[in-house]
Structure 1
Amino acid sequence: MPKSVKYLLIGSVETYSGKSATVLGLSHQLQQRGLDIAYGKPLGTCLNISAGTVIEEDVQFISHSLNLPENRVLPTLLPLNEVTIHKRLRGEDKTNYQQSLKQEYLQQSPGDLVLLEGAANLSEGKLFDLSLLQIAEVLDAAVLLVGRYESLLSIEGLLSAQQWLGDRLIGVVINQIPVEQLESANSLLRPFLEQQEIPVLGMLPKSDLLCSVSVGELVKQLKADVLCCSDRLDLLVESLAIGAMNVNSAVKYFRKRRNMAVVTGGDRVEIQQAALETSTQCLILTGKLPPPAFILNRAEELEIPILSVDLDTLTTVEIVNRAFGQVRLHEPIKVQYITQLMTEHFDIDRLLSQIGLNPAAALS
């Protein structure tokens, strides 16, 4: 392995923190600097089985978004799911995955920098000797951690991670900071972490767009029937509204929101009508009651999908909220936005300095 190849492992303290978004935004800047990058995700956690083949969706999406040639996409060593875990626990899988990691990731010379995406948290993969720290040690990789901002208490997970990772941790990105809390995060959180020798390389404001979920994803999660506009399932939903009040209150409520999914009873025709005339991306009707023809016709005119679910309102709302918490980045508009966000709020020069990469030297 040529000594010039560097490995950067992007991990997180908890799931859905924004690792894939960070990889994409970072990769774009690295490519602009003329660096030859490769990408890999040793543990498969976003799996789709198609025609008998297991596809790691993040790997497929990111390699496609970055236009990476095949020799710059490193293989996923195993899918992390119930089947592989059972085999390991029963002793049927005795594979030395650290050896596999060395063979697949170190015996090639994939460019200047290999970006690796970790699993959900610091310990996931430990059963296979592929926790975040174990991968970093086998590959002599630097670690960049992505943390989701919940409150100032978010600092505790990062402090624990520093203790766990030691000198391998070269910086953190703090993600999804509500705009109204950016000032306190910058004036309190950033200087404190820097004092603890945790470089803060990026602080990203929360974005409704990045937290949005497609109507198609809601259809899948809710096992919904699509009553109209099945060609508009790529619409992005940024907020959820529940149409359980009287129609006058509902109209005022709906007008304050944008790009929403409205959950209401199949029998609440006046609420359905009000929702269609405001910033609604889809109507979700509970109770398996079909809407009247004029509602379907109006929805068709406005190109707003109507979904029907065999669930009560509370269960429907819980599933939709969970979908918002597990948002993936697989829409081109989100890729454009995260690229812009990272360009504005991430210190790429400091990162390159931390990992000892000089773009000018890489180009020569």
Structure 2
Amino acid sequence: MRSLFIGSVSERSGKTILSLGLAKNAPGKVGYFKPFKETIVYAKNRILDQDAYLMKKVLNLEAEEEIISPCSYDVFRPVSMNTMLECWDKLREGCDTMIVEGTRDITTGYIHDVSGPAIAQAIGADMVLVGDSSPGALDKIAVMKHLLGDYNIDFKGAILNMADDPAVEVFLEEKGINVLGSIPSINELKRFRVKEVVESLGAEVVVGDENLDRPVEDVMVGAMTPESAIKYMRRVGRKALITGGDRSDIQMAALSTDTSCLILTGGLYPVKTVVSKAYEKGVPILLVRYDTLTAAEMVEHLIARIDPEDEAKIKLISETVKNNINLDELWGEV
């Protein structure tokens, strides 16, 4: 059996996209393990890891999500490696390939010896590092390659996400780091839906709750005059507009263009004319307690969720990994 640990060296590294894409292209019967829960979803009064929920559905896994992703990390309440290994032994049975997804930072858990490298060593997994092409991520790939030697882990190489410059691959190769491939920026994978904004920001839906599946392809902050804003709004379709709840002028301007939702900040309710116009056009109005800057940062950093039912996006991820990663080198002989 081949086990592969996906270690992230940067926030929003694309580790879940990579894990899913590799799982869909892996040889034989494929299993999945994610030791630590991260983004939480609630299903039938159960608290589950979002990625475990996704992978169970997509890979038709028999184990429950609580086994697939069993632990929550708390530096002051450490979990034992034995707890993870018990779940691991159940999940790997009968599998030809196991994909193991780490946390957002591969070093999480180091102080209690349950970091990514420690887990990979305990289960005998090879390691792939994934990150973007920022200087900090490249530095961390180099550091982790060195540290993995202390754990006697087979480092297969690095995979870069949202990397469109082939010179970065050449740079890493010159530094002695094997690069298995780069996943380019794909606009379809950056899109999210209005309901994901609701969930991430804890927004109150003032109107339009029947249209929360609307896609969001761009984000605008309404901090200018309506006259200036309308020029930009007409150029940008399927946008989320973030503005103060008291900026009815900007809100009405947005509603006259292709807008997926209004995100009103400061906990201020919109005036009746705005609510009426939004209702007429079917545009959700979301009310959040955050200030405009904070809300904008949260939305910009929103990671588009992959639903198990989104077959088109899953197929796109699978094909992207297949076409951009050296899978023959990665898998070798199983």
- Please indicate, yes or no, whether the TM-score normalized by the shorter chain is above 0.5: yes
Q: Measured at CA, do residues 299 and 206 of structure 1 come closer, stay the same or move farther in structure 2, by a change above 3 Å? A: same
Q: CA RMSD in A?
A: 2.7
Q: CA deviation at 1:116?
A: 0.5
Contact 1:136/1:168 (<8 A) preserved: no
The answer as to 2:248 corresponding to 1:264 is no
Q: CA deviation at 1:229?
A: 1.2
| Deviations 1:171-229 (CA, angstroms, capped at 9, x unpaired) | 2110123xxxx2xx31x221232234422222122233323343223223433321211
The answer as to 2:77 corresponding to 1:87 is yes
Counterpart selection for 2:141 from 136, 144, 158: 158
Contact 1:213/1:324 (<8 A) preserved: no
| Deviations 1:318-358 (CA, angstroms, capped at 9, x unpaired) | 233224324153332543432232233222222112xx32x
**What residue in structure 1 maps to residue 159 of structure 2?**
173
Give the Cα–Cα distance (whole angstroms) in 2 for the partners of residues 264 and 309 of structure 1: 10
Give the Cα–Cα distance (whole angstroms) in 1 for the partners of residues 318 and 242 of structure 2: 33
Q: Measured at CA, do residues 105 and 300 of structure 1 come closer, stay the same or move farther in structure 2, by a change above 3 Å? A: same
Amino acid at match of 1:322: M
**What residue in structure 2 maps to residue 204 of structure 1?**
183
Counterpart selection for 2:133 from 149, 161, 164: 149
Q: How does 1:1-364 map to 2 (within 5 A)?
A: 5-30=1-26, 35-48=28-41, 53-70=46-63, 75-81=68-74, 85-88=75-78, 97-106=80-89, 109-150=93-134, 154-166=137-149, 168-177=154-163, 182=164, 185-186=165-166, 188-287=167-266, 288-293=268-273, 295-311=274-290, 315-331=291-307, 332=310, 334-353=313-332, 356-357=333-334
Q: CA deviation at 1:273?
A: 2.5
Q: CA deviation at 1:138?
A: 1.0
Give the Cα–Cα distance (whole angstroms) in 1 for the partners of residues 147 and 221 of structure 2: 43
Give the Cα–Cα distance (whole angstroms) in 1 for the partners of residues 46 and 136 of structure 2: 42
Please give the secondary structure, in 1, of the residue aligned with 2:188.
coil
Amino acid at match of 1:352: W
Q: Measured at CA, do residues 316 and 223 of structure 1 come closer, stay the same or move farther in structure 2, by a change above 3 Å? A: farther
Please give the secondary structure, in 2, of the residue aligned with 1:262.
strand
TM-score normalized by the length of structure 2: 0.86
Contact 2:219/2:300 (<8 A) preserved: no
Give the Cα–Cα distance (whole angstroms) in 1 for the partners of residues 201 and 83 of structure 2: 39
Contact 1:251/1:274 (<8 A) preserved: yes
Contact 2:242/2:296 (<8 A) preserved: no
Please give the secondary structure, in 2, of the residue aligned with 1:250.
helix
TM-score normalized by the length of structure 1: 0.80
Q: Measured at CA, do residues 7 and 303 of structure 1 come closer, stay the same or move farther in structure 2, by a change above 3 Å? A: same
Q: Measured at CA, do residues 211 and 324 of structure 1 come closer, stay the same or move farther in structure 2, by a change above 3 Å? A: farther
Q: CA deviation at 1:161?
A: 1.4
Contact 1:40/1:73 (<8 A) preserved: no
Q: CA deviation at 1:119?
A: 1.4
Q: CA deviation at 1:305?
A: 0.6
Give the Cα–Cα distance (whole angstroms) in 2 for the partners of residues 192 and 263 of structure 1: 39
Give the Cα–Cα distance (whole angstroms) in 2 for the partners of residues 104 and 267 of structure 1: 52
| Deviations 1:65-87 (CA, angstroms, capped at 9, x unpaired) | 22233399954342124xxx433
Give the Cα–Cα distance (whole angstroms) in 1 for the partners of residues 179 and 272 of structure 2: 55
Contact 1:37/1:110 (<8 A) preserved: no
Please give the secondary structure, in 2, of the residue aligned with 1:79.
coil
Amino acid at match of 2:118: Q
Specify every segment of 5 or more residues in structure 1 that has no aligned partner in the other structure, as ranges: 89-94, 358-364
Contact 2:15/2:130 (<8 A) preserved: yes
Specify every segment of 5 or more residues in structure 2 that has no aligned partner in the other structure, as ranges: none
| Deviations 1:73-112 (CA, angstroms, capped at 9, x unpaired) | 954342124xxx4334xxxxxx6x3334444324753311
Number of residue equivalences: 326
Contact 1:8/1:116 (<8 A) preserved: yes
Amino acid at match of 1:38: G
Give the Cα–Cα distance (whole angstroms) in 2 for the partners of residues 249 and 60 of structure 1: 44
Give the Cα–Cα distance (whole angstroms) in 1 for the partners of residues 194 and 109 of structure 2: 32
Q: CA deviation at 1:52?
A: 6.1
Amino acid at match of 1:139: I
Contact 2:14/2:130 (<8 A) preserved: yes
Contact 1:37/1:72 (<8 A) preserved: no
Amino acid at match of 2:106: L
Where do 4+ consecutive residues of structure 1 move more than 6 Å? Answer: none
Give the Cα–Cα distance (whole angstroms) in 1 for the partners of residues 25 and 160 of structure 2: 18
Contact 1:136/1:143 (<8 A) preserved: yes
Instruction: Report percent identity of matched pairs.
Output: 28
